[in-house]
Amino acid sequence: MSHSAVRRLPSWAPVLLLVVALVLTGCAPDQYPQTTLLPRADYAREADDILRKTLLWATIVFVLVEGALLVAIWKFRDRPGAAEPVQTHGNTTLEIVWTIIPAFILAMIAVPTVRTIFKTAQKPGPDALQVEVIGHQWWWEFRYPQLGITTAGELRVPSGRTVSLEMTTADVLHSFWLPQFAGKRDVFPGRYNNLWFKAEVEGNFPAQCVEFCGVQHGRMAYRIVSLKPEEFDAWAANFNTPPKDFSADSTAAQLVKDGQGLFLTKGCVGCHSMYPALPLIGPNLHHVGSRSHIAAGTLPNTDENLAKWIQHPQAWKPGVLMPDLGLTDPEAQALVAYLRANQ
């Protein structure tokens, strides 16, 4: 591009380019932003309260210190013929004051911080909904021992009820984060960490792994789906049914029957369970059609994306454990039909 061409660009061109780039890269804003600054659960409010208190004190300190600095710069600036200002060495009163004030401010921050650390470290009672969270390269598994459910990619919770998470990893370090509901916790092999929260609202919220865990760390997202209690109960009851056997169903479409056959013969069944409570090394696929995203938040869960994903997982997430099986287009469509039908 010549110099004159650059000069002719209107001033808003970079903004337009940025917007186009964001749209093209699929960086569309989520309905709910992935932020800790909008607390929607009791735990998140505790953390937000500490942040606001600390920010208030930091703002007061900033204004006073910078203000004093500006006054000193102005008042004692060099002027022609001005005498040297009074030089002070050692002032006991001043030193006591500037020790007491910071000590007071630190205490005002430390007391609520320590109180919150102890409060959030407590374990909720037995009435809480128990969920085991297991990190995998590169997806999250969620097991509900009280409900006999194993699922992946979507942490479904009822609003208004405390959820108690017990978290670990099947392989390397990951970090689990509930942006608007609770904090972050690293997960370690052979160890269990805890986190709890009580969702105040319903919705489908984005979240992602926040500890580098390999080449696809950036595509290890998940959703937190908060439902009304009756909707959650209905989901759990509906989920807790064994997979249908379409080969024995005279009303099932041939495509679905073909898909079921391919699921068994192409090796999918070696890693992916269709039984609601059975964990295998890959994500449990019982009711996968009801999830909003697939491939750990990488793609919206449409028929087209599901077919693309199972045909070419290595193209979407290089290094992922799922191999390219060389599925033809009709085979991929049959598998999609089978996965969709089973819910």
Site for ligand CUA in 228-247 (CB under 6 A): none
| Closest separation in Å from C-beta 177 to ligand CUA | 10
Among 156, 174, 185, 223, binds ligand CUA (CB under 6 A): 174
State in angstroms the smallest separation of the CB of 39 from ligand CUA. Answer: 24
Closer residue to ligand CUA (CB): 156 or 174 = 174
Amino acid at 151: T
For residue 196, list its beta bridge partners. Answer: 164
- The minimum distance between CB 174 and ligand CUA, in angstroms, equals 3
Verify binding: residue 217, ligand CUA, rule CB under 6 A.
Answer: yes
Measured from the CB of residue 220, what is the shortest distance to ligand CUA in angstroms?
4
Which of 51, 70, 64, 54 minimizes the C-alpha distance to 98? 64
Could you say which residues in the range 194-213 bind ligand CUA, by CB under 6 A? 209, 211-213
Give the number of C-alpha atoms closer than 13 A to the C-alpha of residue 100, restricted to the C-beta side. Answer: 6
Contact predicate 117/50, CB 8 Å: no
Amino acid at 42: D
Q: Taking a C-beta distance cutoff of 8 angstroms, is the pair 63, 200 a contact?
A: no
If phi over 0 gives left and psi between -120 and 50 gives alpha, with beta otherwise, what is residue 217? alpha
Identify whether the C-beta of residue 36 lies closer than 8 Å to the C-beta of residue 48.
Answer: yes
Q: Give the residue, chosen from 44, 46, 131, 135, that forms a contact with ligand CUA under the rule CB under 6 A.
A: 135
Q: How far is the CB of 164 from ligand CUA (least distance, A)?
A: 22
Question: 169 vs 260, which CB is nearer to ligand CUA?
Answer: 169
Closest by Cα among 25, 20, 327, 39 to 200? 39
Q: How far is the C-alpha of 221 from the C-alpha of 298, rounded, in Å? A: 7
Nearest distance from C-beta of residue 134 to ligand CUA, angstroms:
11
Binding map of ligand CUA across residues 296-325, x = CB under 6 A, - = no contact: ------------------------------
Give the footprint of ligand CUA on this chain (CB under 6 A). Answer: 135, 138, 174, 209, 211-213, 217, 220
